[in-house]
Amino acid sequence: MKIKYHNWLQVAIMATMVAFSACSDDPTLYSDTDITGFKVRLGEGNYKQGTIKDGNIIEFKITPDLDLSKLNGITCSFFISPYATVTPTPDVPQDFSKDVHYTVKAQDGTTTDWTVKWTYGGKLNDGEGFEYFFKKWEISVPTPSNKDKDGFGAVFGNYIIDTQFNFYDKYTGQKVDKTLNVTGIDASLCQLVNDDAGNLIGVVKNVGLYRWTTVEGAPQKVANVTPGANKVSATGDIDKVGYVYDSKPDGVGTHAVYKFENGSYTSTLSLVTGRPSNDSNWRQIVAVLGVSDNPPFYVIDAVNAGGVMGPEIGYKANTAGAFNNITGPYIDMWNKKGYAGWGNHVLISGRGIPFNGRWYGSTITCGWGWVGLHLLDPSNNNSLPITETIEPWTTNSCIWTTCSPSDDGESLYLYYGYGVGIRCYELTKYEK
């Protein structure tokens, strides 16, 4: 026989009617103690559907950014078997941040204990990158005094270090009273960058590359080279195999590549974008998507190959590969909002972002009164899993982007610095 389920109030009324009936044509009593159609109510119109699991367990999924305290003091709804009762009733607020238990009692006295649990959504497999992300925090920071200086932001240990050498907690954005030891270098000529392993590198214009092992310790020179220190980025792990990229403005878009192996500088290579970097903007950066001598990369420039002020971004499979110009929402926003710059220079920054076996290109650009944050996915036709605009915004050149893995490696913190603020996204392996 197919059993029709009723909500708990209907069942209570039916049970009362049976109790007051003097006799019944069918002496058989119901023994079913099921729960179906479970939903937990997080707010007006916001319900999470439960799923029945083995062992009389009901699970409902939440996203990693949900504050668990919001699960306390809320109610749920569900259906139970005919003529059964349930304790406690669903209208009684519960703390669903912990296991919640319901006992269903059938008409014949049979009871079943049900346990309600929360869980995160399913996870992507290794090598599938990220799917669910959220804005973790955003803070305001002092307006930079050195607007004419290229911006940088780097992660070192538990800290973010910005263009003004201010320190912030990388998990919360809270300002921290720390000072970076810059003994022996001219900090005004230094661009900071972190590699994918979190090593902190200082690229000092026309002087060389330096490295810190602690915040308090003085930096040590690790490469006697003459960088331009215009737009820098880094990939890999300089203690294993790592690369530092430094724009060298010329007619073909040459970027010096300082290669490290086992903690030591070994050679200077070249990455040529094929797009001029000595034009009126003289700023070009590459978001490198791998750790090798000839990796794929995005080219990000604010003056196109025809010398016209305006954004240009393209993808190349390697130095010799064809330049595949990227259009769509990325460029549409620029055309709609309008360009901006400091003097004659449109402002850009970017870098490659590795997470869960995939690479992404993180870019930040600005216009008159706005700044655009983007994350490009080369494995999905250069789609934009992240595309955000911040308005209003005060034009200055201190914009940057970098990243840092979480302590357990299950998520990645992606940072965007836009002169007067820092925004942090958390990329996760969880499904949407």
Categorize the per-residue pLDDT at 344 as very low, low, confident or very high, splitting at 50, 70 and 90. Answer: very low
Q: Which residue has the higher pLDDT, 101 or 15?
A: 101
The CATH number of 133-428, from 1.20.950, 1.10.1660, 2.120.10, 3.40.50, is: 2.120.10
- What pLDDT, in 10s, does the model give residues 100-141? 999 999 999 999 999 999 999 889 999 999 999 999 999 998
pLDDT of residue 12: 44
pLDDT of residue 395: 56
Categorize the per-residue pLDDT at 328 as very low, low, confident or very high, splitting at 50, 70 and 90. Answer: low
Q: What is the mean pLDDT of residues 310-335?
A: 77
Cα dist. 47→39, 51, 264 in Å? 6, 13, 55
Maximum Cα interatomic distance, the chain, rounded to a whole number of Å: 100
Model confidence at 363: pLDDT above 60: yes
pLDDT of residue 2: 34
Question: CA-to-CA distance for 367 and 339, rounded, in angstroms?
Answer: 4
pLDDT of residue 314: 86
Question: CA-to-CA distance for 48 and 42, rounded, in angstroms?
Answer: 7
pLDDT of residue 365: 80
- What pLDDT, in 10s, does the model give residues 203-213? 999 999 999 99
Categorize the per-residue pLDDT at 335 as very low, low, confident or very high, splitting at 50, 70 and 90. Answer: low
In percent, the amount of the chain with pLDDT more than 70 equals 82
**Kind of pairing between the strands at 264-272 and 284-288:** unpaired
pTM comes to 0.84
- What pLDDT, in 10s, does the model give residues 365-398? 876 677 888 899 999 888 889 988 887 666 555 7
How many residues are given for the chain? 432
- What pLDDT, in 10s, does the model give residues 29-82? 999 999 999 999 998 888 999 999 999 999 999 988 999 999 999 999 999 999
Q: What is the mean pLDDT of residues 217-228?
A: 95
> Is the CA virtual torsion 164, 167, 173, 175 positive or negative?
negative
Is-cis flag, bond preceding 392, omega within 30?
yes
DSSP string, 237-286: -TTSEEEEEEEE-STT-EEEEEEEETTEEEEEEEEE-SS-SSSSS--EEE
Domain boundaries, the chain: 6-120, 133-428
pLDDT of residue 368: 67
Model confidence at 412: pLDDT above 60: yes
pLDDT of residue 311: 64
pLDDT of residue 414: 98
Stretch (H or E) spanning 362? strand 358-367
Q: What is the mean pLDDT of residues 182-207?
A: 93
Q: Which residue has the higher pLDDT, 300 or 3?
A: 300
CATH number of the structural domain 6-120: 2.60.40.2340
Question: CA-to-CA distance for 102 and 341, rounded, in angstroms?
Answer: 62
Neighbours of 13 (CB within 10 A): 10
Q: 133 phi and psi, to 5 degrees?
A: -140, 165
The answer to whether the beta carbons of residues 81 and 5 sit under 8 Å apart is: yes
Q: What is the mean pLDDT of residues 252-281?
A: 89
pLDDT of residue 280: 58
3-state percent helix, strand, coil for the chain, nearest multiple of 5? 5, 50, 45
Q: Which tokens in the block code for residue 240? A: 């294993």
Cα dist. 303→253, 280, 284 in Å? 12, 7, 9
Q: 187 phi and psi, to 5 degrees?
A: -65, -25
In percent, the amount of the chain with pLDDT more than 90 equals 60
pLDDT of residue 54: 94
Which of 209-223, 289-303, 351-365 shows the lowest mean pLDDT across its residues?
Answer: 289-303
Categorize the per-residue pLDDT at 148 as very low, low, confident or very high, splitting at 50, 70 and 90. Answer: very low
Model confidence at 341: pLDDT above 80: no
Q: What is the mean pLDDT of residues 310-314?
A: 74
pLDDT of residue 391: 77
Model confidence at 18: pLDDT above 50: no
